[in-house]
Amino acid sequence: MTEKQSDELLTVGVDLGGTKIEASVVDSTGNILTSHRCPTNPEKGPDGVITNIIECVKNCLGEISKPAPALGIGIAGQIEKDTGVVRFSPNLGWHDIPLRARLEEALQLPVIVTNDVRAATYGEWSYGAGQNVDDLICLFVGTGIGGSVVSGGKLLEGCRNSAGELGHITIVTNGRKCHCRNQGCLEAYAGGWAIGERAQEAARSDIKSGQPLITLAGSIEQITAATVTEAYKNGDLMAKQIVEETALYLAAGLVAVVNAFNPCLIVLGGGVIQGLPEYTPMAERIVRLHALETASEGLRIVTPALGNKAGVIGAAALARQNFQESKIVPGVETNTERTTGEKLEN
Ligand SMILES: [Zn+2]
């Protein structure tokens, strides 16, 4: 990608996923000037992954003609806000990795580390589907379910920076075992991994009706959420039932979220929804019937506007906001009270 002209402050946004690292230089209007992708290689451990991040960022910085003096990185996991330590990232297998300190030392830039869904939410809020809305919720239904809440013009962080884990709202008491320590979470029913598990169970209990799913996947054990989507599109009855049940579970979670936060807007995205957009109207119909009237009046449910770029754009925007607020000298820690919840005003 070639560099476009911009007089504004540039920042770097990084989306650290389980399989790939994406780094982009972004201007203050949310435009991506240049991007690089590298494999994550989590099997090489934190040192190997951090080396890949640094290389990916340096590739980006080498392609722009003016400095990009701050970096934001989104990662799936729990982050200690004041230190940028990754407390736990299940898909990387990381515990207590001082990611901010490591990147600041190597790149000589102030770095802000945030949760990936929060970065994507900040991107959609600043430049995407959530522009000019002060009360919005992002819910991303992929393999897992991630969420983030903007309320009264503030991105909610919570007491220990873990607010917005909407995938782990309990929708069934003593329900299906979740990947967290709870049972009956929204994710344990409507997350991609759970849709796959439920479909495998359905096929196993009724092999005859499950045959189209089994044939598509190759075996019962290989049935995934994507198999269900494909079979649904082929008109398969078992897949149809699984999809309709999934929409009910999704709606149950959304009703709880709408009643709790009274958003004007829900941005509903992620691989499962992208694969089968029918989930949105199916769930929305139930939300409109079951959520409190006052909580759902004026509610809009929309798809993300920035697609899979929301994470890098949001991380870069968070870095810009943090940089402008704190005026940190690169490499020198001067500000321990970083406020990241307020939206950047352009
Ligand atoms: Zn859970």
pLDDT digits (tens, 9 = 90+) for 190-241: 999 999 999 999 999 999 999 999 999 999 999 999 999 999 999 999 999 9
Predicted TM-score (pTM) of this structure: 0.89
Contact 71, 111 (CB under 8 A): yes
Determine the distance separating the centroid of ligand 1 and the alpha carbon of 177, expressed in angstroms. Answer: 8
Residues belonging to the chain? 346
Q: In which band, very low, low, confident or very high, does the pLDDT at 341 lie, cut at 50, 70 and 90? A: low
Give the strand pairing for 111-115 and 71-75: parallel
Rounded Cα gap, residues 174 and 324, in angstroms: 47
Q: How far is CA 248 from CA 255, 286, 287, 290, 340, in A?
A: 10, 7, 9, 11, 35
Buried-exposed string 178-203: b where 16+ CB fall within 10 A, e elsewhere: bbeeeebbbbbbbbbbbbbbbbbebb
Determine the distance separating the centroid of ligand 1 and the alpha carbon of 322, expressed in angstroms. Answer: 31
Buried-exposed string 118-131: b where 16+ CB fall within 10 A, e elsewhere: bbbbbbbbbbbbbe
Handedness of CA 234, 239, 245, 247 (dihedral sign): negative
pLDDT in tens, 80-130: 999 999 999 988 999 999 999 999 999 999 999 999 999 999 999 999 999
Determine the distance separating the centroid of ligand 1 and the alpha carbon of 247, expressed in angstroms. Answer: 18
Could you tell me the two tokens for 135? 């009360």
Rounded Cα gap, residues 239 and 227, in angstroms: 9
Determine the distance separating the centroid of ligand 1 and the alpha carbon of 275, expressed in angstroms. Answer: 23
Where is average pLDDT lowest: 4-13, 126-135, 268-277, 331-340? 331-340
Determine the distance separating the centroid of ligand 1 and the alpha carbon of 41, expressed in angstroms. Answer: 26
Rounded Cα gap, residues 256 and 291, in angstroms: 8
First to last CA, the chain: 25
Handedness of CA 53, 16, 100, 330 (dihedral sign): positive
Could you tell me the two tokens for 82? 């004041």
Contact 144, 193 (CB under 8 A): yes
Determine the distance separating the centroid of ligand 1 and the alpha carbon of 249, expressed in angstroms. Answer: 14
